[in-house]
Amino acid sequence: MKRKWIILLIITVLLITCIVKFLRADDRPKVIVVLQDLDSQYSNIVKVGAEKGFREFDIDGKVIAPPYGSTADVQAAMIKNMLKEHPDILVVSPFESPVVLSNLKKAVETKTPVVLLDTDVPLKNRTIHIGADNFELGRIAGELLASQLQPKDEVVLIAGDLTSTVLNKRIQGATFSLETAGIKIVEKLVELPFRPLDVKEEMTRILQQYPNIKGVFAINDVMALNALEVIKKHGNKVPVVGTDGIIKMVESIEDGTIPSTVTQNPYDMGYISVETAWKVIKGERVRKNIDTGVDLITKDNAKLKLDFLKEVLK
């Protein structure tokens, strides 16, 4: 009889614990993070930072994104569907598209605070933008590249789609620094898809057309690494500067293939966006912009950066 009472007591305690956890979960603030993709290493670093924020601030949160190669319409539809879940706050790294902007406006109109992550768009009454200053990112990258060259040296800029405000600002910043240093920009590769084959084909053409190229700046690390692959195949060794600091780029510094690069801080972007969301939900006032900064990666700190990336992505 005594044993039955003990078993009953244990079951009761377990049931109460489950109920308390369920009620507590319901009471937690709900934050939804919508990224542009979850296929790139860069986006996954953002995701890990956000998830750390969920745990530390006891938030009922999730990170979602359209499948790789999706259009802005898909992200817009995801935002629309997420609003039906009535989140306390929405964190979005938006495509620069009218349809995405339209759904973000609807979120603001329904009193759902919107935190813009990484990419800023002209959303009236947004709560805050969190990310790097892209002109400054490009300016520092151009300055770094110029520091390894001589006046009148020739460089190429791999620009991608300059209809993107983000990418255009990076190119403007890099152009400013390089021209100030007297470096000659022989070509800007614009309207160039992110597909590796396109970058490699264009970089092959550039090396044939301009055999005296002394440096390359690319608006992201994927493009930078594909350009670097072509350069190595041609037996050249010139500095290539990207913007993201993903693992392969940092490994290229550690093994001596390139001397340095610049990086945004995607982990910080993810974490700070959730931390800021928590502050907004609590009613705290926040700034309209948080600049997450730009770091230089050189041989001196490459291993430290590499160890950090491998730890967060394992």
CA 186 to chain centre: 29
| pLDDT tens digits, 50-61 | 999 999 999 999
Confidence at 45, pLDDT banded by 50, 70, 90: very high
Which CATH number describes the domain made up of 28-132+266-292? Answer: 3.40.50.2300
| pLDDT tens digits, 301-310 | 999 999 999 9
The answer to whether 28-132+266-292 and 134-263 have equal CATH topology is yes
Question: How many percent of the chain have pLDDT more than 70?
Answer: 92
Strand partners, 33: 63, 91
pLDDT of residue 68: 82
Confidence at 13, pLDDT banded by 50, 70, 90: low
Confidence at 24, pLDDT banded by 50, 70, 90: very low
**Residue 46's closest CA among 139, 54, 101?**
54
Confidence at 258, pLDDT banded by 50, 70, 90: very high
Query: How many other C-beta atoms lie within 10 A of the C-beta of residue 160?
Result: 25
Structure tokens at 17: 């614990």
Q: Is the dihedral of CA 34, 63, 69, 159 positive or negative?
A: positive
Mean pLDDT in residue range 136-159? 96
Answer yes or no: is pLDDT of 77 > 90: yes
b/e map of 35-58 (b: 16 or more CB within 10 Å)? bbbeebbbbbbbbbbbbbbbeebe
Mean pLDDT in residue range 144-154? 96
**Residue 193's closest CA among 153, 232, 164, 229?**
164
Mean pLDDT in residue range 94-121? 95
**Per-residue CA distances from 104 to 93, 98, 273 (Å):** 11, 10, 17
- Each domain of the chain, given as residue ranges in start order, spans 28-132+266-292, 134-263
CATH architecture for segment(s) 134-263: 3-Layer(aba) Sandwich (3.40)
- Could you tell me where the DSSP H helices lie in 28-71? 41-56
Predicted structure pTM score: 0.88
Contact 216, 224 (CB under 8 A): yes
Question: Comparing 190 with 132, which gets the higher pLDDT?
Answer: 132
